[in-house]
């Protein structure tokens, strides 16, 4: 299936007004040699500030805090349309800097994913600064993507819109087929870790929106369309990023 992440995370959505093309973000999961963390961080910070400071090629770096990827770094570039990919920084100076100051401190384990943004399902209704993100990753069954979107995803979006209108979130899907088993990402943005301790009223809120007894059918639809899920918490490293943390409000057309 497909792999996601996302990230999600994460996006100057103002770019949506400038193109009718689908926007994607490039997610690169980096594993650093534990003996070379200081050298890597110095190198990636300088590289991003020189070559990926703003615009569609702006890059942000996150620390992954939990799960199988704990301790790794997520580097995210974009959002940008596919037509802009060939214009990414590729000078010899860029390549030499990357090889000298970043790549030599990495292990061979690198994962790259391209995540399609779904602005019609997301909520970026006000300006904010990225701090922490909760990335909920979903493994969708083969040939069940449309059913998952209609019977699961859109119903959750409706609950958020009616019961949690101030919660900012982005929804992303993997552009590439693969067997990794992670196809969609629901990315919640938050500032304080106390957000993690909030009371879970989702079942109650779901039935208030969709009707009494509807949650049982929702669980059946989740079981019928997905093979599992997992959550990772990422924290933005402003010091390692080129692009700033500011995200501008965007209203889907």
Q: Write out the chain's pLDDT in tens, 253 residues.
A: 444 444 334 444 444 444 578 999 999 999 999 999 999 999 999 999 999 998 999 999 999 999 999 999 999 999 999 999 999 999 999 999 999 999 999 999 999 999 999 999 999 999 999 999 999 999 999 999 999 999 999 999 999 999 999 999 999 999 998 788 789 999 999 999 999 999 999 999 999 999 999 999 999 999 999 999 999 999 999 999 999 988 888 755 5
Report if residue 8 sits inside a domain: no
3 located within any domain: no
Q: How many helices (H) and strands (E) does the chain have?
A: 6, 10
Q: Is residue 37 part of a domain?
A: yes
CATH of the domain at 112: 3.30.70.100
User: Of 182, 108, 191, which Cα lies nearest the Cα of 140?
Assistant: 182
Report yes or no on 5 lying in a domain.
no
How far is residue 151's CA from residue 217's CA, in Å, rounded to a whole number?
10
Global confidence as pTM? 0.89
Q: Would you state the pLDDT for residue 21?
A: 87
- CB count in 10 Å sphere of residue 220: 11
């040939």: which residue's tokens?
A: 143
User: Does some domain include residue 228?
Assistant: yes
Residue 4 within a domain: no
Strand ranges, E, within 65-130: 73-81, 106-117, 128-129
Phi, psi of 243, rounded to the nearest 5 degrees: -70, 150
In a domain, 1, yes or no: no
- Residue 253 located in a structural domain: no
Rounded to the nearest angstrom, the gap between the alpha carbon of residue 172 and the centroid of all alpha carbons in its chain is 7
Task: State the pLDDT at residue 250.
Answer: 76
Q: What is the DSSP code string of 122-175?
A: -BB-S-EE--EEEEEEEEEPTT-HHHHIIIIIHHHHHHHHHH-TT--EEEEEES
Cα–Cα separations (whole angstroms), residue 84 to 20, 55, 190, 219: 13, 11, 30, 40
CA distances 98 to 40, 63, 87, Å, are 10, 19, 17
Range of the domain at 37: 13-247
Structure tokens at 188: 């919640």
Number of domains in the chain: 1
């Amino acid at each position: 299936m497909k792999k996601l992440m996302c990230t999600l995370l994460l996006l100057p959505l103002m770019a949506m007004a400038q193109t009718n093309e689908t926007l994607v973000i490039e997610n690169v999961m980096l594993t650093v040699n534990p003996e070379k963390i200081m050298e890597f961080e110095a190198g990636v910070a300088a590289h991003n500030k020189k070559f990926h400071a703003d615009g569609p090629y702006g890059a942000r770096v996150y620390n992954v805090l939990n799960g199988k990827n704990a301790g790794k770094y997520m580097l995210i570039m974009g959002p940008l349309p596919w037509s802009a990919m060939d214009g990414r920084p590729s000078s010899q100076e860029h390549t030499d800097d990357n090889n000298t100051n970043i790549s030599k401190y990495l292990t061979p384990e690198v994962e790259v994913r391209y995540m399609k943004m779904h602005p019609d399902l997301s909520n970026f209704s006000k300006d904010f600064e990225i701090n922490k993100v909760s990335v909920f990753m979903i493994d969708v069954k083969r040939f069940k993507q449309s059913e998952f979107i209609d019977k699961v995803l859109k119903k959750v979006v409706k609950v958020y819109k009616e019961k949690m209108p101030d919660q900012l979130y982005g929804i992303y899907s993997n552009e590439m087929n693969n067997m990794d088993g992670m196809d969609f990402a629901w990315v919640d943005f938050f500032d304080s870790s106390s957000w993690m301790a909030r009371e879970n009223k989702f079942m109650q809120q779901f039935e208030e929106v969709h009707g009494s007894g509807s949650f049982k059918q929702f669980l059946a639809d989740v079981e019928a369309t997905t093979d599992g899920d997992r959550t990772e918490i990422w924290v933005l490293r402003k010091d390692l990023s080129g692009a700033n943390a500011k995200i501008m409000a965007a209203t889907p057309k």
